[in-house]
Chains A and B, each alone.
Chain A
Amino acid sequence: MRRLALTGLALAVTAALAAACGGSGRSTAPATAASDPSKVSGEITVLTNRTDLVNDGTMKKYAGEFAKVYPGVQVKFEAITDYEGEVKIRMNTENYGDVLLIPNNIAKGDYPKFFAPLGSAADLSQKYKFIQSGTVNDQVYGIVSFASANGFVYNKDLWAKAGVTDWPKTPEEFLAGLKAVKDKTGATPLYTNYKDGWPLSNWTNGNGSVTCDVKAESAMATEDPWAPGKDLNVVDSLLFNAVQQQLTEKDPTTTNWEDSKKFIATGKIGAMWLGSWAIPQMQAAATTAGQSPDSIAFMPFPSQAGGSFCSVLNPDYQYAVNSHSPNKAAARAWLDWFVDKSGFSATNQGVSPVKSDPLPSALKPYSDAGVKLIELETDQRILVDNIDKESEVGIKSPDYRQKLIDVARGAAKGDLNSVLADLSARWKAGQQAAA
């Protein structure tokens, strides 16, 4: 018995020592690309949110391809279901993989504390798009995996049945279209995915699509985003009106993301506001349900500036190298290979960060119709993040839109004006607190 107790003591002491010794200093060494692939070696761990691709062996295939160029590097994958929640907490330690996706709620200003610099913005922007979003003080810390265009994923056959074949040009036309879908087909015209929450936060990516203004995000630092005529005012009003006119699901609190894919494929749902990354998933759902994947289509936000539609290219996760990684060269090799050579963004119907890559096929209707794809300026992102935090509005969280929907369907007090006024007031207080 005593021996057991002593073993326990030894274990406890070892654990305490291990914890105490973990705290070595942060290294600021850059992760540079090696010139000779055969000389790079080491074992690296890649953190990913794509549990599906790790489980079905797709990632392993990528690793196999990679090993042909870099035979000395072993790649291990760690798929994390609750990526955001788990990785953020792991970042309190040094053990957060060698290559990882930067969690969304890491403030941009903190990037240098966690990630190895990848090079100067001037150099990397010659080859890559969307460099701004990972740049702090002219050093790049993250490279965008792919960008998605934003729009309504809709069931083309269903809308045709309702007599709507042209893309609506104004929010009013769009609402009329939804109404036609409801009246003529009986389907749920617009699905909010209220219960899962994150699809609601995607509506913020409509910012910029309405006025086609690349400064839409930077303007949030100084202006009121919910003032009349501003992008978020138009976007949130559209959502509010659709819910108020009962053009969305009846009980939003019991929605289900996985089911919604099936429903849109079989014509039970008319449209959902999402990124273009969702198109291949919906098409796959259509194939599974025995429908034609061609019925799934994509339309831009119903608003035109200067006679053409606009869609904001919204960068997805960024790849970064852990600044504590002992194998930075190997990590950088994987990162470069994955972005440049793997073809990962094309399979996800995403816009590749590599300038020379073509647009994905799902966006062909966009380019045919002359939809302008714009990239927002991100020079004020640190400040905007801060204002968002101080104001507790949560432009990247679903909460305020859940509240908006509750008000619209009569489950909470207020009206559209009171909701928007409340948002404006809170944002303004946040601006003052962050200044």
Chain B
Amino acid sequence: MTPVSSSLRRGPAGGPRPQDGARHSRQRPRRRWRQRLTPWLFLLVPLALLITFSYVPIINMIVYSFTDWDGVSPDYTFTGLENYVEIFTRPELFRVFVASAYYLGAAVLQIVLALYFATVLSFNTRFRNLFKGILFFPYLINGVAIGFVFLYFFQEGGTFDTVLRLFGIGGEHLWLGDPDLVNYSLAGVSVWRYMGLNFVLFLGAIQSIAPELYEAAELDGANRWQQFRFIIVPSLRPLIGLTAILAISGCLSVFEIPYIMTGGAGASETFVIQTIKLAFRFNKTGLASAAAVVLLVIILLVAWVQRRIVPEERVTS
């Protein structure tokens, strides 16, 4: 706060200083008003962006969810709760959450792997930085490119099959064509892509732990596992909680990888792909908006329940 007010005081310094007390007191409320306004001026641009690109669309979406809008026509009528009634009376619309279960399993694997690599690479390992780069790299690649690369990777007799054959696992698998395999393949791609992000978050947190703690632990004869168990995990707990929330909301709203790779064909359709199809294939934008609102509510609910179970730890100084 101080730098702001001092810069304000510097403003009138160039002009003639106020001479008499009456003038001085008249200026005071004005300056306070200005002082109160200053932080808002700084917030103006980010707030404008936030409102234009987040809140206005969300409000629009909620409004559309009560209409029969087809997404193009300039006219639409309000239909009340009809869309919501339709969503909850069509159980097949929720069957697609089965696919999300695969991604949830993958998310657990992803967090465990990220934690493992972050721990190993935070100690003195050979080629540490190289491995860090390799692990984080997939996160930097554009999702569309990843979709196309893995489309070739998973082709029958493609790269993956060839690699497996080197290890003596023969046969051609329909990695994307077999309904029993497709979700494992897609979830695998998602682990490959997003593990790097979790890894970097964990690594940062681990490196912020004071080195004296390890030193003291080593003096006391703690081995690496004990250091991990009693130093690293407790200090990472808030971060693991946050990652878990992000993972669950991510699993419920999986989109780009299955959409690019299979278009939701076979058994790989997710809730978001289904919503997109409702909106753009069948021109039921009203119904699709209602589905999107339902998804939003589900995710908020999950986050809330999770926060209840794992309460946020406040920093006490």
Closest CB of chain B to A387's CB: distance in Å? 12
Cα distance A424–B31 in the bound complex, in angstroms: 75
Please, which residues of chain A bring their CB within 8 A of the CB of B188?
Answer: none
**A397 at interface (Cβ–Cβ under 8 A)?**
yes
Please, which residues of chain B bring their CB within 8 A of the CB of A110?
Answer: 72-73
Please, which residues of chain A bring their CB within 8 A of the CB of B42?
Answer: 1, 5
Q: Are A389 and B73 interface neighbours, CB within 8 A?
A: no
**B143 at interface (Cβ–Cβ under 8 A)?**
no
Task: State which of A39-47, A250-258, A346-354 sits at the interface with chain B.
Answer: A250-258
Cα distance A17–B295 in the bound complex, in angstroms: 34
Known: A5-B44, A194-B265, A251-B156. A411 touches B178 (CB 8 A): yes
Known: A105-B283, A106-B72, A397-B281. A253 touches B265 (CB 8 A): yes
Cα distance A2–B277 in the bound complex, in angstroms: 46
List the B residue with the shortest CB-CB distance to A397: B281
List the A residue with the shortest CB-CB distance to B152: A254
Q: Are A8 and B45 interface neighbours, CB within 8 A?
A: yes
Q: Are B280 and A85 interface neighbours, CB within 8 A?
A: yes
CB-contact partner of B283 in A5, A389, A411, under 8 A = A389
Cα distance A301–B39 in the bound complex, in angstroms: 71
Q: Are B44 and A9 interface neighbours, CB within 8 A?
A: yes
Closest CB of chain A to B289's CB: distance in Å? 14
Cα distance A60–B266 in the bound complex, in angstroms: 43
Bits for A85-97, please: 1 = Cβ < 8 Å to B, else 0: 1001001100000
Bits for B39-79, please: 1 = Cβ < 8 Å to A, else 0: 00110110010000000000000000000001111110000
Number of A residues contacting the other chain (C-beta, 8 Å)?
A: 36
Closest CB of chain A to B42's CB: distance in Å? 6
Known: A194-B265, A406-B179, A406-B266. A250 touches B45 (CB 8 A): no
**B154 at interface (Cβ–Cβ under 8 A)?**
yes
Number of B residues contacting the other chain (C-beta, 8 Å)?
A: 37
CB-contact partner of B174 in A1, A6, A250, A389, under 8 A = A250
Q: Are A252 and B177 interface neighbours, CB within 8 A?
A: yes
CB-contact partner of B156 in A5, A8, A250, A409, under 8 A = A250
Bits for A243-278, please: 1 = Cβ < 8 Å to B, else 0: 000000011111000000000000000000000000
List the B residue with the shortest CB-CB distance to A19: B52
Bits for A381-421, please: 1 = Cβ < 8 Å to B, else 0: 00000001100101001010010001001011000000000
Q: How many A-B residue pairs have CB under 8 A?
A: 97
Q: Are A107 and B283 interface neighbours, CB within 8 A?
A: yes
Please, which residues of chain B bring their CB within 8 A of the CB of A88?
Answer: 71-72, 280
Cα distance A252–B262 in the bound complex, in angstroms: 10
Please, which residues of chain B bring their CB within 8 A of the CB of A1?
Answer: 42
Interface residues of B (CB under 8 A from A): 38, 41-42, 44-45, 48, 70-75, 151-152, 154-156, 158, 172, 174, 176-179, 182, 262-263, 265-267, 277-278, 280-284
Closest CB of chain A to B38's CB: distance in Å? 8
Q: Are A389 and B284 interface neighbours, CB within 8 A?
A: yes
Known: A110-B73, A397-B281. A253 touches B266 (CB 8 A): yes
Please, which residues of chain B bring their CB within 8 A of the CB of A2?
Answer: 38, 41
**A127 at interface (Cβ–Cβ under 8 A)?**
no
Closest CB of chain B to A399's CB: distance in Å? 7
Question: Which of A8, A106, A107, A251 counts the most chain B CB atoms within 10 A?
Answer: A251
CB-contact partner of A251 in B44, B75, B177, B278, under 8 A = B177
Q: Are B72 and A412 interface neighbours, CB within 8 A?
A: no
A-B CB contact pairs (8 Å), 16 listed = A5-B44, A88-B71, A88-B280, A107-B72, A113-B73, A197-B263, A250-B174, A251-B156, A252-B177, A253-B265, A253-B266, A254-B176, A406-B265, A411-B178, A411-B179, A411-B266
CB-contact partner of B154 in A26, A254, A388, A409, under 8 A = A254
Bits for A18-50, please: 1 = Cβ < 8 Å to B, else 0: 000000001000000000000000000000000
Q: Which 6 A-B pairs have the closest CB atoms?
A: A8-B45, A253-B176, A251-B156, A253-B177, A5-B41, A12-B48
Cα distance A110–B76 in the bound complex, in angstroms: 12
Q: Are A251 and B280 interface neighbours, CB within 8 A?
A: no
Please, which residues of chain A bring their CB within 8 A of the CB of B152?
Answer: 254
List the B residue with the shortest CB-CB distance to A106: B72
Please, which residues of chain B bring their CB within 8 A of the CB of A397?
Answer: 277, 281-282
Known: A194-B265, A251-B174, A252-B177. A92 touches B72 (CB 8 A): yes
**A195 at interface (Cβ–Cβ under 8 A)?**
yes
CB-contact partner of B48 in A8, A91, A107, A394, under 8 A = A8
Cα distance A411–B266 in the bound complex, in angstroms: 7
Cα distance A91–B280 in the bound complex, in angstroms: 14
Cα distance A392–B288 in the bound complex, in angstroms: 13
Cα distance A388–B154 in the bound complex, in angstroms: 34
Closest CB of chain A to B165's CB: distance in Å? 17
Please, which residues of chain A bring their CB within 8 A of the CB of B70?
Answer: 107, 389
CB-contact partner of B265 in A6, A8, A92, A402, under 8 A = A402
Cα distance A8–B49 in the bound complex, in angstroms: 10
Interface residues of A in 136-167 (CB under 8 A from B): none
Cα distance A113–B282 in the bound complex, in angstroms: 20
Please, which residues of chain B bring their CB within 8 A of the CB of A252?
Answer: 177
Q: Are A91 and B41 interface neighbours, CB within 8 A?
A: no
Cα distance A2–B45 in the bound complex, in angstroms: 11
Please, which residues of chain B bring their CB within 8 A of the CB of A106?
Answer: 72
Interface residues of A in 165-197 (CB under 8 A from B): 194-195, 197
Please, which residues of chain A bring their CB within 8 A of the CB of B284?
Answer: 389, 392
